[in-house]
């Protein structure tokens, strides 16, 4: 029957019974696949041999594609085949580009790491330059910093602290592991001697503040 159906022209076919449902299902499948737009049941039947029941074929086809990578979907009063929504990630070609963090971002991040919790105004004071919103947003987005407790001072400014993601990335157990200025100097990262009488962060005076910071580092 199947073979016959293929060799007999459309007109003659109408004299015979409609093709078996399995065959009708194949037809609907092929038309939906190749069509550039959704196809109505009426259109389907107009294209299929006489006596076909496209609606029923669609029910079968739809069941067949259940849970597959491709779905038979209703679009208005027409039908179409689409890739499964959960596989949409396959339709994207991801290219990952690794870029060095900008100098502004590194400096801001460093200040937050060494001085946390720290307000934006404090960061600006230390850097001596305004901190752009984009820089802070970028660090927040990267999840290297997050908002800490509000400072209990006028205006109740928000503070920033570094996150666990930050510690992970830099291989630190906690922010206290960051080397102090003295160690930076010993490591040759600071070349010149400080001016006498210049207070140094991380040198004694800052310790209590840094300590206070740590306790609220992972608060929620």
Which is closer to other proteins, CB of 24 or CB of 114? Answer: 114
State the nearest-atom distance from the C-beta of 19 to a copy of itself, in Å. Answer: 11
As a whole number of Å, the end-to-end CA separation of the chain is: 71
Q: Both tokens of residue 37?
A: 């737009």
210 binds, among other proteins, a copy of itself, none (CB under 5 to 8 A by kind): none
Q: Both tokens of residue 73?
A: 């979907």
Per this entry, what is the length of the chain? 220
Q: Which residues contact 201 (CB under 8 A, 6 or more apart)?
A: 114, 115, 180, 181
SS3 (DSSP) at 214: helix
Which is closer to a copy of itself, CB of 30 or CB of 212? Answer: 30
Cα atoms in the 13 Å half-sphere on the side-chain side of 205: 6
Which is closer to a copy of itself, CB of 98 or CB of 153? Answer: 98
Stretch that binds other proteins, among 18-26, 58-66, 165-173, 212-220 (CB under 8 A): 165-173
Read out DSSP for 156-190? Answer: ---EEEE-HHHHHHHT-SSGGGS--HHHHHHTTS-
Residues numbered 94 to 123 that lie near a copy of itself (CB under 8 A) are 94, 96
Q: Which of 55, 87, 121, 129 binds a copy of itself (CB under 8 A)?
A: 87
Per-residue x/- track, 161-190, a copy of itself (CB under 8 A): ------------------------------
Long-range contacts, stretch 163-172, CB < 8 angstroms, 24+ apart: 164/218, 166/109, 166/113, 169/144
Stretch that binds other proteins, among 12-20, 54-62, 77-85, 148-156 (CB under 8 A): 77-85
On whether the CB atoms of residues 156 and 120 are closer than 8 A, the answer is no
Contacting positions for other proteins (CB under 8 A): 30, 33-37, 47, 80-85, 88, 91-101, 103-107, 109-111, 113-114, 126-129, 138, 142, 168-172, 178-181, 184, 187-190, 192-198, 200-201
Contacting positions for a copy of itself (CB under 8 A): 6, 10, 25-31, 33-36, 46-48, 67-70, 81, 83-84, 86-87, 89-94, 96
């Amino acid at each position: 029957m199947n073979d016959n159906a293929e060799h007999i022209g459309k007109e003659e076919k109408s004299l015979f019974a409609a093709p078996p449902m399995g065959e009708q299902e194949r037809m609907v499948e092929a038309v939906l696949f190749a069509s550039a737009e959704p196809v109505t049941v009426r259109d389907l039947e107009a294209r299929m041999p006489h006596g076909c029941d496209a609606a029923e074929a669609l029910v079968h086809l739809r069941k067949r594609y259940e849970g597959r990578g491709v779905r038979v979907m209703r679009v208005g009063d027409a039908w179409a085949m689409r890739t499964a929504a959960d596989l949409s990630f396959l339709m994207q070609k991801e290219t990952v580009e690794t870029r060095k963090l900008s100098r502004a971002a590194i400096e801001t991040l460093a200040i937050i790491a060494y001085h946390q919790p720290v307000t934006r105004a404090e960061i600006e004071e230390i850097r001596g330059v305004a901190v752009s919103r984009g820089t802070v947003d970028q660090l927040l987005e990267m999840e290297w910093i997050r908002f800490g407790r509000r400072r209990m001072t006028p205006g109740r400014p928000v503070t920033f602290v570094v996150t666990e993601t930050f510690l992970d990335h830099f291989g630190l157990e906690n922010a206290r592991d960051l080397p102090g200025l003295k160690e930076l100097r010993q490591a040759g990262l600071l070349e010149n001697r400080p001016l006498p009488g210049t207070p140094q962060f991380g040198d004694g005076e800052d310790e209590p503040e840094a300590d206070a910071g740590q306790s609220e580092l992972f608060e929620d």
